[in-house]
């Protein structure tokens, strides 16, 4: 089992998942930008609306990453992904990143939980979910 060390206690993540490495997170930022440009933003927005309810963005879906709530350890829903993380990441974070000359973008490299500022504000973790533990597709069995 994989462990995340929140502020005051150890929390065990589901088998097959782990906190996303800072490098894969950095790669997802760049992939997100490329996908946005390639789809002219419109395709990314539609794709993002389709994946947000499972705690993912288009790049996170491709890289098998997921955003989970720090308290419940369940994928965040559409509301938290769109409003809190979307608005925070999409509008406020670029300003903060520019003001810090890009240093804020690399925050997961030195944070002990690999969180960025918007993860801390929204109370979330980004995890690697290669086996789709939370199953984004309905189980037909």
In the chain, the N- to C-terminal Cα span, in Å, equals 26
- pLDDT (tens digit per residue) in 32-68: 999 999 999 999 999 999 999 999 999 999 999 999 9
What is the value of pTM for the model shown? 0.83
Residue scoring higher pLDDT (62 or 136): 62
Separation of alpha carbons 64 and 104, rounded Å: 23
Residue 37 pLDDT: 95
CA–CA separation, 110 vs 116, rounded Å? 10
Which DSSP helix (H) or strand (E) runs through 48? helix 42-51
pLDDT digits (tens, 9 = 90+) for 79-113: 888 887 777 777 888 888 899 998 888 899 999 88
Sorted by sequence, the CB contacts under 8 Å of residue 107 that are 6+ apart come out as 115, 116, 117
Q: What is the pLDDT of residue 4?
A: 52
* Domain ranges across the chain: 14-128
């Amino acid at each position: 089992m994989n462990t995340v060390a929140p502020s005051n206690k150890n929390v065990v993540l589901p088998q097959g998942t782990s906190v996303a490495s800072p490098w894969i997170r950095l790669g997802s930022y760049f992939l997100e930008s490329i996908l946005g440009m390639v789809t002219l933003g419109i395709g990314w927005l539609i794709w993002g609306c389709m994946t947000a309810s499972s705690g993912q963005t288009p790049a996170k879906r491709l890289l098998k990453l997921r955003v989970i709530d720090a308290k419940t350890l369940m994928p965040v829903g559409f509301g938290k992904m769109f409003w809190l993380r979307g608005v925070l990441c999409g509008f406020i974070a670029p300003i903060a990143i520019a003001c810090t000359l890009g240093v804020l973008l690399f925050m997961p490299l030195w944070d002990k939980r690999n969180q960025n500022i918007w993860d801390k504000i929204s109370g979330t973790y980004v995890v690697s979910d290669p086996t789709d533990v939370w199953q984004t597709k309905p189980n037909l069995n």
